[in-house]
Amino acid sequence: MTAWGPGSKWALEMAPALIGANDDPTALVSHHPLVSDLQRRMPGIRFPSWPTVFEILVPTILEQVVIAKTARDAYRGIVFRYGERAPGPAKLWLPPTPKTLAKVPYYEWHPLGVERRRASIIRYAASVARRLEEAAAMEPGAARKRLEALPGIGAWSSAEVARLAWGDPDALSVNDFHLPHTVSWALAGEPRGTDERMLQLLEPYPGQRARVVRMIEAAGIAAPRFGPKMAIRPIASI
């Protein structure tokens, strides 16, 4: 590993966690033929961790309600407008700091495709970013409670952060639009499911439910579609 600029020493120290060296995929014990097959086919899937909570929380908030492409486009615009070039030879950009985003007025968020609700959540999270970063040293349940104490942050958002920031292999995203259908189809052959059904099917995997979901998604398994895809909401043009 090679690193540049301020924080490079810390980044090198965190490198094993970033590539999933601290994760233990053998902790998953299969109770389903599909899970056994996925374990055999994808033994290299690991849960990395990178405890910069605010940096992970911002794109997570942007993914609320809208489709993935809309969220990615908004985040790209935010980084290019308010971030800065990363040190080193690669042409990379650093995400904007909490101090920067806390000062961005709403009228500058809207042209980037972010409506007032999500912009307000991000701005408030930026104002308490130091408290959020403290969650990296907390027990997973307590850390998620701290996140969910923020206005606009619920179980779905805290689970997304827990998987990426802390490498939690059990952080299951409830209230997701597609996930219950995907899990129900993969593990029970049912084309449609609910959060309750998803939790029931994943009950044999305490502590490893997100790992099962990650393998299902990595295998490209998806429930049948019975209608058109969700339309893109061009917020910036409203």
- Residue 230's pLDDT is 64
pTM recorded for the entire structure: 0.90
pLDDT score at 175: 92
Q: So where are the chain's domains?
A: 25-47+169-225, 53-166
* % of the chain beyond a pLDDT of 90: 84
Burial class of residue 181 in the structure, from the number of CB atoms within 10 Å of its CB (0-12 exposed, 13-18 middle, 19+ buried): buried
Which residues of the chain fall below pLDDT 50? none
Strand ranges (DSSP E) for the chain? 84-85, 93-94
Q: Architecture of 53-166 per CATH?
A: Orthogonal Bundle (1.10)
By residue count, the chain amounts to: 238
| The two structure tokens encoding residue 56 | 């992970």
In eight-state DSSP terms, residue 112 is G
**Bridge partners for 84 per DSSP:** 94
pLDDT of residue 219: 96
